Structure 1
Amino acid sequence: MKKASIALSAILLLSGMLAGCGGDEAKTEGSSAAQATLKDGKYDPPITITIAKQQDENAGKYLEGESLNDNVLTRWGKENLGIDIQTTLLGGDASQYNTKLRLALTGSEKLPDVVPVYDTALASDLIQSGQVKEIGEDIKNYMPERLKDIYKQFPTTFNPVVSDGKVYGMAIAPNLTEGEVMLIRQDWLDKLNLKAPTTIEEFEQVIAAFTEQDPDGNGKPDTYGFTFSGKDSYNTGWVSDPVMIFSAYTGKHLPGSWLEENGTLSYGSVADGNKEALAKLRDWYSKGYLNKELATQGAWDALADFTEGKAGIIVGRPWLYGSVKDVEKNVAGAVIKVYPTINGVDGDKTYQSGQLNDGVFMFNKDFNNMEAFFLYYDKLYDAAFGTGDFTYGYAQGYDYDIVNEEVTFDPTRFNTPLTEVQGVGKMAFTKNTPSVDGAGKSFYDLANGASMDNGVLMRSNALDQTMKEGYVISYENSDVLLPSAFNGPPTKTMQNSWAQLTTMEKEVFTKIIYSDEPLEAYDDFVKQWHDKGGEQITKEVNEWYADANKVDFMSQMGLK
């Protein structure tokens, strides 16, 4: 209780820091705002900042009468800051968005002022094109102190945008995201007199029973143990993830990820233990314990069987409960509980891929309103701290409401009821609401008696109990989250060979699990991986790592 209070006091103290974007009255830089001044935190006359946006998550989710460039958040920016945010380059899914940005490099599209980039190869190409600006001095001069305090914690997030010691961008809302938990049909465990598994042996016993002992009681062999996705990789990092099975045998060496040990980086998919993990998955697949279509199911597809009451276990981040909880309404007696992921064969915890940011911000070389950008960006963080204009959320009647003097996050109880809350945070150029909650600190504080005296804690407390329990587990086990040690642009050999190597990896892993190839095919894969470019790539990745740690660019930006 005392620790929670101290932590909350620290958060409130930090959130009370003034966003130092110059004085009360300062000239703006760019020609578009040459006559505008910043007075009392607002530009007069207003200035416009153009952005690019990958909008697949938010398409069509505006209230009637609102749109991409005219909604509750864009209006707030104009009315309160004198900043008009206009999307001038819009992409749907990741592929379409990247295509549009590449067209901008050729002059077919105009590059906006602010460019979110989610692909390290594209970030490198933008730097090489000369069309994005170096922002080290802008960060030093204009980034507010509370943002500097955040970015100081995540120095590696600058790696994709550093070239020759210069910084050409910055992470979008850096924060260690929540870890994954096991979601299990508790009613199935209870019916079969089983406990939640904590080891690989116990996990096998449970998924065998879920497959063979008719846990739903309908007299049909139509259930199985564990659903996950193998379509894109065997380490999704967020939902429908089988990575804990690999980590049970490989420890910190995760498929598709680079691990640093003693200053050296190595690739997880060719590490010792993968063969044993594949052998186990192969055995389970042959016995029907896994979803039969795992090789063709994406992450969202693989959760369908759990939601429909066919599968008993799925792994994902705590919010996954909100996407699968319909099974509790649609299947009589269904109950979901959350548990930590299992331990490895050595008794240690299993590890997961950690995520520190979702893309990077880059800026048009001709953009001269970085001070205004930082003012706007810092204000968006009020939602993360529960302060300022965004104490409870971004907009009353959209993502929260006050009914009979009580704050509610239940859209059906709003003064004008909604079927779901409006994702105002997804309307921002961050694409998601910024967070400083780490792997779930607010939930941990609540579970340990913290009082709900700020909007962040109130919002966390409003979630489903099962989801809250998942976040507590996530926070308590945040030491298992391992961000990939390599997050730079593709190396020279990667540009020519990486697609072939990753395709080979996925195909071999899948064929072994399906018993289309013998287990020994893994040994051949490892040899071919090294021979067909993997060895040279490992050398280049380590050279990149050594080079990335040469220049103290954090000090240059005033972030140390």
Structure 2
Amino acid sequence: MIKQKHVALTLVASLFAIAACSSPSSSDKEGKASGENKKLEVSVSILDRGQVASDEGTYESNRTTKYISEKSGINVKWVPILRTESTKKLNTLIAAGEAPDMMWEFGRDYMATLKEQGAIQPIDEYIEKYSTSYKAYLKAHPELKPYTMFDGKTYMATSARGIDAIANHGMWIRQDWLDKLGLKAPTTMDEMVEVMRAFRDKDPDGNGKNDTLGASFNYNYAGIIQAMYASNKGNWYLDNDKLVYGGLTDRYTDVLAQMKLFFDEGLIDKEYITDKNFQKERQLFVTGKTGIYFASWNIGAEYRELKQNVPASKLVPFEPVSTKYGKFGLYQEPPANRLIVFNKDMKNPEAAIKLLDWWIDKNWFDVRFGTEGTHYKLVNGVPQTIDAEKNKKETIYAPEYAVLDQWSPKPEDFAVMAATDAISQEYAKVQGESLKVAMKNKYRRDIPFNPTFPELSETSTSFGPLADDIETKVITGGAQYSPQWGMEQLRKEWKRLGGDNVDKLAQDWYQNNVKGK
């Protein structure tokens, strides 16, 4: 495969040389001025999760970005997109004609919207013309094909998720607080509320002050509550064989009621509404002021900081709790990983495809894990961290740049991968258990992926901000804005925006694309 790649690159170089002699265009003159072997260039979006330390650089330029440009031979310009406002930021860049050549997100629905808007383009021709490694990878993973296509054409590049990437959301609880207060880990929503009240009221940290809260969280908070009621806003559900948008199910009224209760009773920090990047929430948790953490199944950095601040803390994962509707798993991803699309105005699709080839052809490994001998050593083929503190600064953000990868660890690998210091080894065991807990209860996904059609994209785009405003009123607005009032308003706005027609078209889509298949 490497030999084929070399031949392909040699052929491309030859074609450039021929082209340079054929026409005195301005681009040819530029090529002659800068040399015939001008470096391929492409711009790529990157999710900014606030993990790049200031002395590491920025999301645009750091040790990982420099490594990619140097080793791939492609000049990659990175365009940071704040994780909590990713689609909003991309929409703004697209509207301004400033979007990067390659954009990626995890949601197929959003990519369908971009396709309907004409912002992205099919990539079959580019893959066929320029790719070697990625083309072979697709043939080896036919299960990914349905997730990459619209209208019979390939619009997205992707790779298969490992089990650690299928697992996503997770819940954690301070076992030492439970033990001190004589409580058991909750198994129902009512029990969880009682535990949170005890964590708020009974001085579980023993400092004699009223300064603890029931829970804190990261950006997964709303999704976790929604999942436990089988009513995620990002999903469509089948209720009596009828397709219903997740944020409009009867169960969603209970989601609003639950989040309102947490807020009204002060079981969570009431300032979270303005904490856009959830840094205060994180700080509350790592300084030992909250007993439950609604977050992700893997929280290595937070775990380490908590142990450093509160050495006696004992943090364990726990399963989603049941509600009156039953027990459902927390959010788990579909088999396709990051979905990568090409801007319709992309200038150099060859560079984009070559970057995909470079990633998938095992280069993702050193992007993700850093430098062998510096950041890790291989133990039975598994990368073992050499210095956890060093990696916390230098490689914690790196996996984001492995936009295509083939990583899929087993729970038992974590102990091998971890550094030998006590905290790292302790977390490795907890991490393996957390992965098992995250996958134990299946997330409710009634259809493999959501319907996509222009009317849905248009209505959803208009409905989203209105829904957010209504829900914020319900959660924070006191008794005058009940969950029932909120649901009435949500359904009213959906209907006003053409929701009845969208519901009908969604049902037709289900009949034609899912039920009949």
Equivalent position to 1:222, from 211, 230, 246: 211
Whole-Å separation in 1 of the counterparts to 2:141 and 2:159: 10
Partner amino acid, structure 2, of 1:220? K
Deviations 1:433-469 (A, max 9, x none): 72442xxx511x559xxx96xx8999x9896332232
Quote the residue 1:469 is aligned against: 433
Q: Which amino acid aligns with 1:367?
A: P
Q: State the distance in 2 between where 1:207 and 1:67 align.
A: 37
Distance in 2, Cα, partners of 1:399 & 1:487: 43
Q: Pick from 22, 44, 51 the counterpart of residue 43 of structure 2.
A: 51
CA-to-aligned-CA distance 1:391-439 (integer Å, 9 cap, x gap):
9934225532589xx97413369xxx67733358458462xx72442xx
The 3 A distance-change label for structure 1 pair 316 and 381 is: farther
Does residue 538 (structure 1) correspond to residue 503 (structure 2)? The answer is yes
Q: Deviations over 1:349-391 (max 9, x none)?
A: 34436364334231636534676344313224662xxxxxx59
Provide closer, same or farther for how the CA distance between residues 493 and 396 of structure 1 changes in structure 2, counting only shifts above 3 A.
closer
- Residue 9 of structure 1: aligned partner: none
Answer yes or no: is the 8 Å Cα contact 2:264–2:476 preserved in 1. no
Structure 2 unpaired stretches of 5+: 19-35
Taking a change above 3 Å as real, the CA distance of residues 479 and 65 of structure 1, as seen in their structure-2 partners, is closer
Aligned counterpart in structure 1 of residue 250 of structure 2, from 248, 272, 283? 272
* Match in the other structure for 1:306: 285
Change over 3 Å in CA distance of 1:61–1:226 after alignment to 2: closer
2:25 matched residue in structure 1: none
Q: Percent of pairs identical after alignment?
A: 19
Q: Which amino acid aligns with 2:232?
A: L
What is the TM-score of this pair, normalised by structure 2?
Answer: 0.74
Whole-angstrom CA distance in 2 between matches of 1:149 and 1:138: 16
Number of the residue aligned with 2:333: 354
Which residue, out of 399, 421, 432, partners 2:394?
421
Take 1:382 and 1:505, find their aligned partners in 2: how far apart are those partners?
42
Amino acid at match of 2:202: Q
Specify the SS of the correspondent of 2:48: coil
**Gap change, CA 1:351 and 1:309, over 3 Å in 2:** closer
For residues 182 and 200 of structure 2, the distance between their equivalents in structure 1, rounded to whole angstroms, comes to: 15
- 1:267-300 deviation per Cα after TM superposition (whole angstroms, max 9, x unaligned): 1122122333433444444433333234333444
One-letter amino acid of the counterpart of residue 507, structure 1 = T
Give the alignment of 1:286-365 within 5 angstroms.
286-298=264-276, 299-331=278-310, 333-352=312-331, 354=333, 356-362=336-342, 364=346
2:167 match: 178
Of 204-213 and 61-70, deviating more is 61-70
Q: Write the distance in 1 (CA, Å) between the matches of 2:443 and 2:173.
A: 23
1:135 is the counterpart of 2:123: yes
The runs of 5 or more residues in structure 1 that have no matched partner are: 1-17, 37-43, 230-235, 384-389, 553-560
- Matches of 1:177 and 1:540, distance apart in 2: 30
1:3 is aligned to none
Other-structure match for 2:24: none
Aligned positions of 1:115-514 closer than 5 A: 115-116=103-104, 133-139=121-127, 142=131, 144=133, 147-148=137-138, 151-159=141-149, 162=150, 164-171=151-158, 176-228=165-217, 236=219, 239=220, 241-248=221-228, 250=229, 252-260=230-238, 265-298=243-276, 299-331=278-310, 333-352=312-331, 354=333, 356-362=336-342, 364=346, 367-368=349-350, 372-380=354-362, 383=365, 390=366, 393-397=369-373, 399-401=375-377, 408-411=384-387, 420-423=393-396, 425-426=398-399, 428=401, 430=403, 434-437=405-408, 442-443=410-411, 445-446=412-413, 464-479=428-443, 485-486=449-450, 488=452, 491=455, 493-494=458-459, 497-511=462-476, 514=478
Q: What SS is found at the alignment partner of 1:352?
A: coil
Cα distance between partner residues in 2 of 1:339 and 1:110: 41
Structure 1, 268-277 or 126-135: larger mean CA deviation: 126-135
* Secondary structure of 1:328's aligned partner: helix
The separation in 1 between residues aligned to 2:503 and 2:51, in whole angstroms, is 40
1:515 aligns with 2:488: no
RMSD: 4.7
Q: Which has the higher helix share?
A: 2
Query: What residue identity is the alignment partner of 1:434?
Result: D
Residues of 2 paired with 1:155 and 1:182: CA distance? 32
1:103 aligns with 2:96: yes
Query: Against the structure 1 CA distance between its residues 326 and 535, is the aligned structure 2 distance closer, same or farther, given a 3 Å change threshold?
Result: same
CA drift at 1:339: 1.6
* Secondary structure of residue in 2 paired with 1:215: coil
